[in-house]
Amino acid sequence: MFSDCLERKLFPEFERKYTNMKTKDAAYLFHQGTYNQAYEFFGSHFEDDGDVVFRLWAPHAQKVAVVGDFNGWDPDANPMKRLDDLGGIWEVSISGLKQGDLYKYAITQKDGAVAFKSDPYAFYSEKRPATASVIWDLSGFKWTDEAWQKKERKTAEASEPYPMNIYEMHLGSWRTHEDGTFLTYDELADVLPQYLNDMGYTHVEFMPVMEHPFDGSWGYQLTGFFSATSRYGTPQGLMKLIDALHAAGIHVILDWVPGHFCKDAHGLYMLDGTNTYEAAEHPQWGTMEFDYGKPEVVTFLLSNAYFWMDQYHADGLRIDGVASMLYLNYGYDDEWRKNEFGGNDDLKAVAFLRKLNTVIFQNFPYAIMAAEESTAYPMVSWPVDAGGLGFNYKWEMGWMHDTLSYMMTDPYVRSQFQNKLTFSMSYAFSESYILPLSHDEVVHGKKSLIDKMFGEYDMKFDQYRLLLAFMFTHPGKKLTFMGSEFAPFIEWNEAKQLEWFMAEEYDNHRQMKDYVRTLNRLYQKEKALWQIDDSWDGFKWIDPDNASQSVVTFRRIGKKPGDELICIMNFVPTGHESYIVGVPEDRTYRLVLNTDEEGFGGSGAPVKKTAKAKKSSWNGLDYSITISIPPMSALIYKAGKLNPPPKKKTAASKADSTATAETAKKGKKTSRRTSKNAKSETAETTAVKAAETSKVPKTSKIPAASKIPATSKVPETSKVPETSKVPETSEVPTKSKASEK
């Protein structure tokens, strides 16, 4: 529809027409499921004459009225009118209202009961535990990120790759005031951008900032889909925070929950006494699933996604719980649920997700649309016109589970589980992946990341540094949860701020934070780690099969010839001396990261800073380097310039060399004879002079020269132990059709 083609900056006159369209036109698009900015029609809005107009969709309501502190919450004071032939849309204009006034809808439901509901399209909500909506005008904030948005569009149009290192965070528990109260959006704007920049992150992902009644839901059970939660301040405060992050070069991703909503009485649940927005109750979560078969519900959700990109300048959305949307049987243990074709895909949800991504990318081509999809559902991050769901990223849950399982295993038996490190590469390019170490992995008794690591205290830190190095060199974008940068031992608790004192008072935690900062900056600097994340052109195994020593080696490759990193990972607490690693070319390789450095909390074992390649094939490559690998560590070497070839001797230079050698040989013989004669003459002259000047008894004999002891025998060079035999490189999986996209 024409709303999909709306380009605000190119067609401002079209925007005005669209924004202020006639009621019948808006209603038509709404009921077609194609009104992408329905928030400009529904909800409460100031009109030019100062009145506030309210509009609500409640098709089965008998009566609806606006109630609030301005009319004593009287359902008879400001009744709404049901607009004729517009499918259950109600409207009323009220004079004398101001910004900040509280209101609700008093809805006489289908069965005659009166329910007081908050506005589904409200821009602001009363601070919990209160539940009223708030009249609020979103205009007036002066954005300063126009250059940022232009740059984002230009990057998207050129399809230029960029590093993505996401810091996932919960605004309420990152930091708090001393009394435990939340930092406001404005206060966060003063400290968060600088922190993320210093630590080397490129993106930040906020857990849901939409209004929700229960802190313990972390924002994943919403009542106010268009309301920036009042816990942390006003809508303009959130705009200020996002604007400040853009000024610091940080992309902002918002968690978004289109799969379900909570059953709180003031929310969407049974809005007009019927299943207005819901299809059924989720079998596991006790929430209500959206009905994707209703065009009005599709409009609500599409508009909501568009709203956060448009009004708050978000750079993308992370869509929560996609797996629960895709499968009819998700969460059910009883009978098989199937669609009209016999499969268990929810075809309505699939159609919605494809439409969602189509609309967003048509209007925001730079958007990040990341699916938290935990199954093997195919083509999640493929374009819609190629048969995919249309996302541009998918969370790589398989890598996360396998890798954490491996790191929790006793190192002395890890040789039996080498495939947990390598299996992810068999499908790494079937989707565009984000590797997540998210909040879900550090709650509900799962332990913190550092505490998951096998072993005693110091060993845990060694392994944790190694885990992060493996993650940051593995293909795929990166996401880590707040606090992971200094490795707290307790699980995340949404009611308390992070244990920042750990990084200030304890060396291991401070050094871990320094290490993560170094790793983050290395990731940004080295294009080989992110330029080619979607094909085998950017990754080559050197040796994935050295299970007996629990070592994996591989190459990360950038677009520029010679831009290459050699990555060596040792997953056991045993070092390896004189370890041979195959390399592709005759270059000198320079160490750019050593997780075992003392400054990071490691042992500081000696490691070569540079390694010159030798013409000795290894691991199927023409050259090799020999290094020492510390216990439980990762080493990353960067390829330097090609070494110059050895100079070849010409015929003339060979003749000159032969003549010079012959002359030197003759000179050496002459010198020896001269020296011998000189010594003989000197001894004879000395003896004559001694006989003349001293009386020597005739019977005495000149003592024979003392015997010079024979040169001590030099022991034979100690035999260098033979390099342990490294298994031959396993066959690299062939490129699947999925990776060719």
The residues carrying an active-site annotation are 320, 372
How many CA atoms are closer than 13 Å to the CA of 134, on its beta-carbon side?
23
- Position 40: which residue type? E
Which residues make beta-bridge pairs with 317? 254, 369
Nearest partner of 453 among 372, 548, 573, 574, judged by Cα: 573
C-alpha 422/C-alpha 569 separation (Å) is: 12
Quote the tokens at residue 312: 């708050």
CA–CA dist 162, 160 (Å, integer): 7
Please state, in angstroms and as integers, the Cα–Cα distance from residue 460 to each residue in 210, 224, 503, 513, 551, following that order.
37, 42, 16, 15, 18
Residues found in the chain = 741
Cis peptide, bond prior to residue 129, ω within 30 of zero: yes
Q: What b/e readout covers 203-226, taking b as 16+ CB neighbours within 10 angstroms?
A: bbbbbbbbbbbeeebbbbbbbbbb
3-state SS, 357-378, equals HHHHHHHCCCCEEEECCCCCCC
Helix (H, G, I), strand (E, B) or coil at 24: helix
What are the C-alpha distances in Å from 147 to residues 139, 252, 268, 308, 418?
Answer: 20, 16, 38, 19, 47
Q: Identify the sign of the CA torsion 239, 195, 370, 529.
A: positive
CA dist., res. 557 & res. 531, Å (int): 8
What residues contact residue 635 under an 8 Å CB cut-off, 6+ apart? 567, 568, 591, 593, 594, 595, 607, 627, 629
Q: Helices 235-247 & 185-199, crossing angle to 10 degrees? A: 20
